[in-house]
């Protein structure tokens, strides 16, 4: 017998005492049956929102979703009245939401069999054999797949997302219905599509998820720039590449060492500029001259289209713009410092995560002494001051020592000192800097 947590039992029992029906349902029951921690509890009930507000004084009604949130000591629990949704005509919103009369009716409007299992703490109600599909790792639409996808096209993304979160297969009829109706995804708001895409990227089977998007035809609509990369071969004499650009991108994603979906997206898109820059020379050598600039430009259009935040956009574009950085033991410290300035110290770990994905996704060996040395050197050069602000003295020291007023002269002196420190002529130590300061002005 599976155990519901205390708060979930309290909610169900309180409603039963009032003569109403209540069940845990959806992702939480799915997770419980799989023995996984759950992210959020969903309940379905015969109680109307006003009943819920009466029974639970510490609750509030969310008009938009018809959901009541109940504050319990540990969390907020979402309770939704039985629904029956009929007649979708814009592939997004039911034309009229009506309260359903029975649990069976409510379960019949849910998307997939594994999400249509209800549990009241004693009995599992599973009219669509969701437990069977859960055991066999299958995502299957409730009822007629074509109809269900036509009703709500977001279910296409949800199918792929849940498959990549759980490592499940989409059953053939459901997959077929998705493939046949991919164009309908254009009726869904970009924000909702983007959020599902981010969840696919953040999932344990992200690479498989992207391949599923490719296979269904969704990728061609959501990310046509990446879809086109699967047609670009890069096998040529004297080149290490074994995959086409699209497959390489997915392999890079698979090997990217960051779990952050934003960094993973940058990794996935870092080479899309190879599509328009593809050239074959007389010797049969394939080149992608300047592809990182073109990748950056194409990605900029993508992230704007998908309405990413300013901060996310800046990170994604920076990572892609500089992904071709040189890793060479003969590089000077100054070259390393220039690299760090371009990428930004806050993005260094993510830049390396992308690069590791890129390398391993191209079939390179697990460890590279060059890369390890490069990382060590990055740490070393960062111990040196990076900007004037890192100097152990500041503008006040300059003004006091040289008896000058605030003005551009102060900044000039500081940057002259910084240049000497950077060139290794002077240590970034307060006493030494003050002593040197006394010798100013230099000319
Ligand atoms: P998770 O919470 O882990 O994302 P979930 O399956 O609980 O997964 P929610 O978005 O919380 O997903 O939705 C809760 C339940 O509501 C689902 O399990 C499913 O039964 C139902 N549901 C959600 N979205 C849809 C939809 N677009 N069409 C039909 N049923 C849906
Ligand atoms: Mg949920």
CB atoms within 10 A of CB 62: 12
Q: How far is CA 338 from CA 99, 120, 214, 313, 382, in A?
A: 62, 61, 38, 22, 11
- The domain 137-222 is placed in CATH, from the list 1.10.760.10, 3.90.1150.10, 1.10.110.30, 3.30.565.10, at 1.10.110.30
Which single residue is written with the structure tokens 């390489």?
248
**Distance from the CA of 28 to the center of ligand 2, in angstroms?**
6
Domain 6-136 carries which CATH code?
A: 3.30.460.10
| Nearest-CA residue for atom 8 of ligand 1 | 27
In the chain, CATH 1.10.3210 covers 225-381
DSSP one-letter string for 107-171: HHTSSBGGG--EE-SS-EE-TT-HHHHHHTTEE-BSS-HHHHHHH-THHHHHHHHHHHHHTPEEP
| Nearest-CA residue for atom 16 of ligand 1 | 26
- pLDDT tens for the chain, 443 residues long, are 788 999 999 999 999 999 999 999 999 999 999 999 888 889 999 999 999 999 999 999 987 778 999 999 988 899 999 998 665 556 666 655 678 899 999 999 999 999 999 999 999 999 999 999 999 999 999 999 999 999 999 999 999 999 999 999 999 999 999 999 999 999 999 999 999 999 999 999 999 999 999 999 999 999 999 999 999 988 776 666 778 999 999 999 999 999 999 999 999 999 999 999 999 888 888 889 999 999 999 999 999 999 999 999 999 999 999 999 989 889 998 899 999 999 999 999 999 999 999 999 987 776 788 999 999 999 998 888 888 888 999 999 999 999 999 999 999 999 999 999 988 899 999 999 999 999 987 55
- Secondary-structure class of domain 388-437 per CATH: mainly alpha
Q: What is the pTM of this model?
A: 0.89
Residue 436 in tokens: 């040197």
In the chain, CATH 1.10.110.30 covers 137-222
- Ion ligand 2: residue ranges with CB closer than 5 A: 27, 40, 42
Out of 94, 115, 149, mutate this one to test ligand 1's pocket (max ligand atoms within 8 Å of CB): namely: 115
The C-alpha atoms of residue 421 and residue 100 are separated, in whole angstroms, by 74
Domain 225-381 carries which CATH code?
A: 1.10.3210
Which single residue is written with the structure tokens 């592809």?
291
Do 115 and 27 contact (CB within 8 A), yes or no? yes
Out of 8, 25, 27, mutate this one to test ligand 1's pocket (max ligand atoms within 8 Å of CB): namely: 27
CB atoms within 10 A of CB 146: 16
Which single residue is written with the structure tokens 């009506």?
98
| Nearest-CA residue for atom 28 of ligand 1 | 111
**Distance from the CA of 27 to the center of ligand 1, in angstroms?**
6
Half-sphere exposure of 155 (CA within 13 A, CB side): 29
Among the atoms of ligand 1, which is closest to the Cα of residue 155? 27
DSSP one-letter string for 399-435: HHHHT--SSHHHHHHHHHHHHHHHTTSS-S-HHHHHH
């Amino acid at each position: 017998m599976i155990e519901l947590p205390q708060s979930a039992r309290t909610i169900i029992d309180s409603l039963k005492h009032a003569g109403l029906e209540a069940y845990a349902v959806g992702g939480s029951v799915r997770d419980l049956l799989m023995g996984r921690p759950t992210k959020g509890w969903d309940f379905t009930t015969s109680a109307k929102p006003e009943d819920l507000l009466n029974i639970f004084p510490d609750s509030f009604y969310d008009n938009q979703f018809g959901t009541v949130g109940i504050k319990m000591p540990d969390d907020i629990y979402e309770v939704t009245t039985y629904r029956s949704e009929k007649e979708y005509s814009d592939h997004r919103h039911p034309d009229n939401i009506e309260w359903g009369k029975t649990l069976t009716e409510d379960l019949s409007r849910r998307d997939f069999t594994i999400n249509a299992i209800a549990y009241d703490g004693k009995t599992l109600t599973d009219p669509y054999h969701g437990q069977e599909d859960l055991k066999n790792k299958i995502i299957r639409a409730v009822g007629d797949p074509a109809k269900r996808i036509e009703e709500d096209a977001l279910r296409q993304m949800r199918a792929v997302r849940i498959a990549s979160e759980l490592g499940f297969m989409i059953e053939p009829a459901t997959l077929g219905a998705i493939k046949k109706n991919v164009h309908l995804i254009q009726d869904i708001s970009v924000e909702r599509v983007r959020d599902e895409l981010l969840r696919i990227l953040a999932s344990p089977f992200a690479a498989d998820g992207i391949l599923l998007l490719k296979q269904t035809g969704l990728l061609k609509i959501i990310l046509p720039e990446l879809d086109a990369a699967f047609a670009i071969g890069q096998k040529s004499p004297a080149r290490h590449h074994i995959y086409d650009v699209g497959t390489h991108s997915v392999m890079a994603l698979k090997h990217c060492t960051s779990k952050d979906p934003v960094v993973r997206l940058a990794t996935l898109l870092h080479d899309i500029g190879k599509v328009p820059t593809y050239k074959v020379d007389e010797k049969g050598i394939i080149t992608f001259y300047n592809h990182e600039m073109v990748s950056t430009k194409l990605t900029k259009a993508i992230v704007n289209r998908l309405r990413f935040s300013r901060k996310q956009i800046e990170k994604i574009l920076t990572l892609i713009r500089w992904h071709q950085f040189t890793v060479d033991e003969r590089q000077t410290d100054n070259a390393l410092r220039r690299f760090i300035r371009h990428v930004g110290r806050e993005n260094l770990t993510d830049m390396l995560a992308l690069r590791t994905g890129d390398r391993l996704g191209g079939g390179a060996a697990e460890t590279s002494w060059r890369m390890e040395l490069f990382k060590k050197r990055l740490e070393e050069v960062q111990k040196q001051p990076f900007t004037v602000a890192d100097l152990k003295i500041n503008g006040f020291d300059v003004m006091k020592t040289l008896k000058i007023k605030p003005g551009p002269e102060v900044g000039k002196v500081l940057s002259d000192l910084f240049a000497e420190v950077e060139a290794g002529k002077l240590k970034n130590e307060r006493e030494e800097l003050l002593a040197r300061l006394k010798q100013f002005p230099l000319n």
